[in-house]
Structure 1
Amino acid sequence: MQLTAVGLNHQTAPLSIREKLAFAAAGLPDALRALAADAAVKEAVILSTCNRTELYCVGDAEHIVRWLADYHRLDIEEIRPYLYTLGCSDTIRHAFRVACGLDSMVLGEPQILGQIKDAVRVAQEQQTVDTWLNALFQKTFAVAKEVRTGTAVGENSVSMAAASVKMAEQIFPSVGDLNVLFIGAGEMIELVATYFAAKTPRLITVANRTLPRAQELCEKLGVNAEPRLLAELPEILHEYDVVVSSTASQLPIVGKGMVERALKQRHHMPVFMLDLAVPRDIEAEVEDLNDIYLYTVDDIANIVQTGQQARQKAAAEAEMMVEQKVAEFVEWQRSRQSVPLIRALRDEGERARRQVLENAMKQLAKGTAPEEVLERLSVQLTNKLLHSPTRTLNKAGSQNQNLVDAVAQIYDLEHPNNGL
């Protein structure tokens, strides 16, 4: 078994596929236990975000691909074109790059590091992490810290969540005077709501399909926030100056007619609307209405990319640092692979020492002179320790020059070259 990673991300798969292979946070512990219980997997960490699902394992890559398909009840051939499977060195490099924000949609974004730490914490709680993955991710966290402090790759990085507030501030003088409505209660809404909450708006409302999840998010925000059901949107939409939506609905939730009625009740006071969902939550025709400022994920890209060119230059430096750290970790891995052999060699030497020592003690008990006992002990110990390498060299003769050279290097010997 070797270190491997199986996954897909925003670069290799559309949202429709990423959704099918995502792991819900509540079900992640069970998934980890199921994966690690498989005989073909010794260690496992599952990273699942809105942009990527990745399984870092010590195990067989093809077996992990089959497990992933079976777990989500999908045909393996349906997902295989979107997956990447990485070998040992590539897995190390990929983990380092992801943690540094070099593989993110927004170059240098910091949220992914926290998400990786959460994934590792859950795996540790489920005891699916051992020597190799623990070492990999401890090194990963150290590399990410060094890259972020030693380069400018994360400087001026603006997340979509932060950009949402910036866009609203371009229309309204103060977020603190606004009523803000969030439609949905998923990861993206939680991020955006956190940024808006920091501006202490007059009112925050979270409308969700289920009230408990909306209530949970409102409690997290710690401001004047109230939960509502999606079914109430037609009655309450007119109360809000800012509407941000991100759900998994396959059909629009907010239609043109609903917005027209809300505008009449608002006496045509402007509304900022941000649709972060794919497919859209807000009908595209809403954009045609006066007093509505509707933006989508594509519209927010320009703000998100602020400073991107400067970060690209820093990214080249970061990539060089990553390559250096990969080489260091691979070298450490190789040294660790020698540990069992070193331990076995020392155990063999210890057995030989005890055996000749036991014989020496018996000779001393019989009254043999100490000088004679020491002489015998030294000869016996030398013979025992040199027996295996001598026999191996005799068998190898001149047919295995690599072995002969290895023995000469181990014992720091010069051996004659017979010119053959």
Structure 2
Amino acid sequence: MPLVVIGINHRTAPVEIREKMVFAGEELPEALRELAGQPGVREALIVSTCNRTELYCFADDSPGGESTDRSHNGPAPAPDPSLPLSNWLAHWHDLATHRLDIDQTLYRMHGTAAVQHLFAVACGLDSLVIGEPQILGQLKDAYRAALDQKVTGPYLNRVMQTAFSVAKRVRTQTRIGANAVSVAYAAVSLARTVFEKFSGHTALLVGAGETIALAARHLHANGLGRMIVANRSIGRAQELAAEFKGFAIGIDDIATHLPEADIVITSTASPTPVITYDAVQAAVKARKRKPIFMVDIAVPRDIEAEVSKIEDVYLFTIDDLQNVVNENLASRREAARDASEMLATEVSVFEQQLKTLDAVPTIRQLRDDAEALRSQTAEQARRMLAAGRDPQEVMDFLASTLTNRLLHGPSQRLREAAERGEVELLEAARILFAAGSPDQN
């Protein structure tokens, strides 16, 4: 049962596709339960952010049962365990209706490659902004959601906890997190290419999550003149605005205040745009064609795509931030190489530890069987003592009977192995019992 990962991210799919693949918060519980119920899936987890949608599953090597090629009278190659998951993903998001074929944008990984990918994601090595810390929190949220739905198990629990631990070590032992670089930072950096100074300008921030909070801090640090925070929850908007002496409004009031904004940065979880073409066109007219700089970080997009066609509006999406991000990553590239070397070691250590899990059920069963035989034989010995039998006779009975009962099953199986010529089993037994034999000296 390997770890299987399928997904899309900022490198494999543009925002037009990624926004169709987002799992909204309210639908995530049902999606997790349905995913965990797919043939061959034992454990499941869904990661859905503005830059990636990924399914992490602990799945059978051959979902739906063993496949056999009858024409060759032998086992056929095992089906790709990611294929049913890809089909489920496309069906869940009704991609056929959108006439989207995601086959060329999906990446699929199994086993070691999947574990390495997860660790890289947790460390921020697979992010749009290398080393950004937000993805680790998003992974933890995804894991918590899966735990709530009881769709994880021993494997995903162990691999996720290990990923979190590895990410912490990478962040503390390398400079991967040095120099504040994030999508929010990149958005503010891009704004500085339009406005030499922020002191005489107003920014409208739509949303009140971590990304918008980061953007607010960067704008404030750069001397922003005035800040307006819009959010569906006016209380959260007021809380963030108060931190920077700003002004809070509701989502429905955006169009009214849009003419005041020189800078607009949006990052909400709304399934539909919150800023329309008509609202922006009216704002530009009210501003007497004074330019508006807009960055839409959300997926699905918060600003209607047609807004980019309006003169005097500079609209950028999250994908447009890549160039800005690249200019701020020089100091992290060496750290990323160091982190990659650490990951290779950590993946190897994890897989070695994981192999011990395969032996756990056998060891547990062996101990349970031995304990049952010990208990049965000891009870017989106690009855013999109670009946007045000689203690030495009872001791001899206990030792010989327990030995015979413990060795009966293995001895019988080894004789059968010898008759059938199962050399590997016989050799394994020699190694096992030689390693476990007491010191005769």
Q: TM-score by structure 1 length? A: 0.81
Matched, 1:262 2:287: yes
1:403 corresponds to:
425
1:21 corresponds to:
21
Deviation of 1:198 after TM superposition, in Å, equals 6.3
Q: After the TM superposition, which of the residue ranges 182-191 and 402-411 deviates more from structure 2?
A: 182-191
2:377 corresponds to:
356
1:418 corresponds to:
none
Aligned positions of 1:300-379 closer than 5 A = 300-379=321-400
Aligned positions of 1:101-140 closer than 5 A = 101-140=124-163
* Contact 1:273/1:294 (<8 A) preserved: yes
* Contact 1:164/1:300 (<8 A) preserved: yes
1:53 corresponds to:
53
Deviation of 1:4 after TM superposition, in Å, equals 2.1
Inter-partner Cα distance in structure 2 for 1:340 and 1:67: 32
* Contact 2:208/2:237 (<8 A) preserved: no
Question: Relative to structure 1, is the Cα distance of residues 368 and 239 closer, same or farther in structure 2, using a 3 angstrom cutoff?
Answer: closer
1:286 corresponds to:
311
Inter-partner Cα distance in structure 2 for 1:94 and 1:37: 24
Matched, 1:240 2:265: no
1:417 corresponds to:
none
Q: After the TM superposition, which of the residue ranges 192-201 and 43-52 deviates more from structure 2?
A: 192-201
Q: Secondary structure at the match of 2:104?
A: helix
Inter-partner Cα distance in structure 1 for 2:11 and 2:322: 16
Number of residue-to-residue matches in the alignment? 400
Inter-partner Cα distance in structure 1 for 2:46 and 2:363: 33
Deviation of 1:94 after TM superposition, in Å, equals 1.2
Q: Secondary structure at the match of 2:50?
A: coil
Deviation of 1:339 after TM superposition, in Å, equals 0.8
Question: Relative to structure 1, is the Cα distance of residues 72 and 243 closer, same or farther in structure 2, using a 3 angstrom cutoff?
Answer: closer
Matched, 1:213 2:213: no
- Identity of counterpart residues, as a percentage? 38
Q: Secondary structure at the match of 1:305?
A: helix
Following TM superposition, the consecutive aligned residue runs of length 4 or more in structure 1 with deviations greater than 6 angstroms are 184-187, 254-257, 292-296
Matched, 1:36 2:55: no
Question: Relative to structure 1, is the Cα distance of residues 144 and 170 closer, same or farther in structure 2, using a 3 angstrom cutoff?
Answer: same
Aligned positions of 1:387-398 closer than 5 A = 387-397=408-418
Q: After the TM superposition, which of the residue ranges 331-340 and 397-406 deviates more from structure 2?
A: 397-406
Deviation of 1:299 after TM superposition, in Å, equals 6.5
Inter-partner Cα distance in structure 1 for 2:219 and 2:278: 22
Deviation of 1:96 after TM superposition, in Å, equals 0.5
The two structures, once aligned, show a CA RMSD in angstroms of: 3.5
Q: Which runs of 5+ in 1 are unaligned?
A: 415-420
2:187 corresponds to:
164
* Contact 1:3/1:88 (<8 A) preserved: yes
Q: After the TM superposition, which of the residue ranges 64-73 and 273-282 deviates more from structure 2?
A: 273-282
Question: Relative to structure 1, is the Cα distance of residues 156 and 349 closer, same or farther in structure 2, using a 3 angstrom cutoff?
Answer: same
Deviation of 1:369 after TM superposition, in Å, equals 1.6
Inter-partner Cα distance in structure 2 for 1:96 and 1:384: 47
* Contact 1:168/1:242 (<8 A) preserved: yes
Inter-partner Cα distance in structure 1 for 2:219 and 2:26: 26
Inter-partner Cα distance in structure 1 for 2:248 and 2:6: 41
* Contact 1:123/1:129 (<8 A) preserved: yes
Deviation of 1:345 after TM superposition, in Å, equals 0.8
* Contact 2:123/2:136 (<8 A) preserved: yes
2:294 corresponds to:
274
Letter in 1 for 2:432: I
